[in-house]
Amino acid sequence: MSRWDTSNIPDQSGRTVIVTGANSGLGAVTARALAAAGAQVIMACRDEVKARAVANSIGERAQVRRLDLADLSSVREFAASIDRADVLINNAGVMAVPLRRTADGFEMQIGTNHLGHFALTGLLLDKIADRVVTVASGAHIIGKIDAADLNWERRRYNRWAAYGQAKLANLLFTYELQRRLTAAGSSKLALASHPGYAATDLQSHTETFMDKVMVVGNRVLAQSAEMGALGSLYAATATDVAPGGYYGPTGLGGARGYPVACKSSAASRDEVTAGRLWELSEQLTKVTFPFAER
């Protein structure tokens, strides 16, 4: 797997891949690479104008469908429009935004990054033939799941702690999904990836001085979005992935490099917390996975 890049993507002809947040950044790079390898790509995006511009640059292998992960009615509408797909890539996300709430009252970061993708995956799981890839982050190491106040209704809001919680939730969800798929006798795979420190627009929405700091960081320290997308592309297409695997760069403390199998925090491997988060996510989204009753 050393120096794996887009030239190593197996032929994707005949396969359909859903990529959330494909209108910019890592998602747009992912969509372009998959289409170039022969896949039909469904770009699931809130900003349809930007998404169509990207789709037009890709050509006939890309199509745009509206999906707002911060609105569960939109998630349900999108899921109902899908007949089948081979891979779902849960890529969309927000980072360190001011305290805001989704249409359903969830804190925006946990609501978009985790609960929206949790609901989407549950609603689509029977239609996904091969694998689900969820894009996490090295920031999961600062995360802590507060099951009693997941949506920051009683705690004083901290945007970075909220981001860490959401990214930790991505990994807890992935590992628990794989355990449940395995227990159900399914051959489907749940995988996670991270982009390292990649230069995208994700870092420019904190609405604080950090936006300017991270613009400089993007220029000086970050690797390109093309490099950052390799982890999710590997997880989505490689034939030698491990069930429940986590892939991304490990250079410079996980900030740069080609994708390899990665380790994640002990908290991300806590099966008790994963089970509690799963139950809470079902309650909040009112989405029950097909195999939920074991």
Poorest-pLDDT segment among 91-100, 170-179, 212-221: 212-221
Q: Which two tokens stand for residue 150?
A: 């997941």
Instruction: Find the catalytic residue in 163, 175, 197, 247.
Output: 163
Pairwise pLDDT comparison (147 vs 253), residue with the higher score: 147
Question: In this predicted structure, what is the pLDDT of residue 208?
Answer: 57
Residue 292 belongs to a domain: no
Range of the domain at 231: 8-285
Whether the pTM exceeds 0.85: the reply is: yes
pLDDT at residue 205 greater than cutoff 80 = no
Report the distance separating Cα 257 and Cα 239, nearest Å: 20
Q: What is the pLDDT of residue 72?
A: 98
SS3 181: helix
Asked whether residue 77 is assigned to any structural domain, the reply reads yes
Tens digits of residue pLDDT in 2-11? 699 999 999 9
* Predicted pLDDT of residue 2: 67
Per-residue pLDDT of 53-100, as tens digits, reads 999 999 999 999 999 999 999 999 999 999 999 999 999 999 999 999
For 139-173, write each residue's pLDDT tens digit.
999 999 999 999 999 999 999 999 999 999 999 99
Q: What is the mean pLDDT of residues 217-224?
A: 64
Residue 290: inside a domain: no
Separation of alpha carbons 62 and 33, rounded Å: 11
Query: Does residue 246 carry a catalytic annotation?
Result: no
The domain that holds 151 is classified in CATH as 3.40.50.720
Tokens of 56: 């037009």
- Do 121 and 20 touch, CB atoms closer than 8 A? no
- Whole-Å CA distances, 48 to 51, 56, 106: 5, 12, 23
Q: What is the pLDDT of residue 293?
A: 43
**SS3 for 91?**
coil
- Reduced to 3 states (helix: H, G, I; strand: E, B; else coil), residue 49 is helix
| Contact by Cβ (8 Å): 127, 146 | no
293 in any annotated domain: no
On whether the CB atoms of residues 199 and 221 are closer than 8 A, the answer is no
Number of domains in the chain: 1
Q: Is the pLDDT of residue 214 over 50?
A: no
Tens of pLDDT, residues 34-45: 999 999 999 999
- Cα-trace Rg, the chain: 17
Per-residue pLDDT tens over the stretch 103-146:
999 999 999 999 999 999 999 999 999 999 999 999 999 999 99
What per-residue confidence (pLDDT) applies to 216? 44
pLDDT at 221 over 80: no
| Contact assessment for residue 191 and residue 247, using Cβ atoms and an 8 Å cutoff | yes
User: Do you know the residue count of the chain?
Assistant: 294
User: How does the average pLDDT of the chain come out, rounded?
Assistant: 93
Q: Which pLDDT does position 198 carry in this prediction?
A: 87
**Looking at the domain assignment, is residue 192 inside a domain?**
yes
